Amino acid sequence: MNAEPQGRRREVTRLLGACAGLLALSAAVGSAVNTVRPGSSRLPWVGDWDRHIETLAFRAGIPVTFLMGVRDRLRDPHLVLFDARTPDEYAAGHLPGALSLPIRDVDARIIDYIDRARMDSPILIYCEGLECEDGLALALKLREFGFEDLTLYPGGYEEWIAYGGVVTQGPAP
């Protein structure tokens, strides 16, 4: 009388066993491959994501955008694009239309751009790349000044050129 439910239970148990087998096989192969990878491409099991620039921006309430979002935003004629790197780095190459606003000079230089950047203008900020914090620092400073629509491009100049983005050279006007 109980043969059918028992049979069904046995099937489910076998199914769950097979699922566990696939999970264990994946874990074993994934671990083994990661162990034998060359040092540069081996991923540590625990990464320091809490100090990653995107995490810091998220916690600070600064929205981030990525390469495709930047390409879209650059079509916006109202966009104000700030380069937070040093004047030398800016002169060597920057995103088209970017204005130089190094974090160290922001207090003195923001006045130069006051006619172009209104408090509600969409502002996009970048620095060198994922390892640099100047872009986020600039975004926080501009927020203190009262600018409302700030977005950080964490990939920065490095990612832009790595994906064939057009750059402009020359010092800030």
**Site map 17..46 versus another protein, x via CB under 8 A:** -xx-xxx-xxx-xxx-xx------x-xxxx
Residue of 106, 113, 94 lying closest to 156 (CA atoms):
94
Residues in the interface with another protein (CB under 8 A) total 41
CB of 76 closer than 8 Å to CB of 122: yes
Give the span between the Cα atoms of 105 and 82, in whole angstroms: 13
Q: Is 170 in the site for another protein (CB under 8 A)?
A: no
Q: How far is the CB of 104 from another protein (least distance, A)?
A: 28
CB of 126 closer than 8 Å to CB of 109: no
Give the span between the Cα atoms of 11 and 117, in whole angstroms: 67
CB of 74 closer than 8 Å to CB of 95: yes
Residue 99's DSSP bridge partners are 82
Judged by CB, which is closer to another protein: 58, or 145?
Answer: 58
**Site map 41..80 versus another protein, x via CB under 8 A:** x-xxxxxxxx-x-xx--x----x-xxxxx-----------
Q: What is the CA radius of gyration of the chain?
A: 25
Task: Report the site for another protein in 78-107 (rule: CB under 8 A).
Answer: none
Judged by CB, which is closer to another protein: 37, or 116?
Answer: 37
Give the footprint of another protein on this chain (CB under 8 A).
Answer: 7-8, 11, 14-15, 18-19, 21-23, 25-27, 29-31, 33-34, 41, 43-50, 52, 54-55, 58, 63, 65-69, 155, 159, 162-163
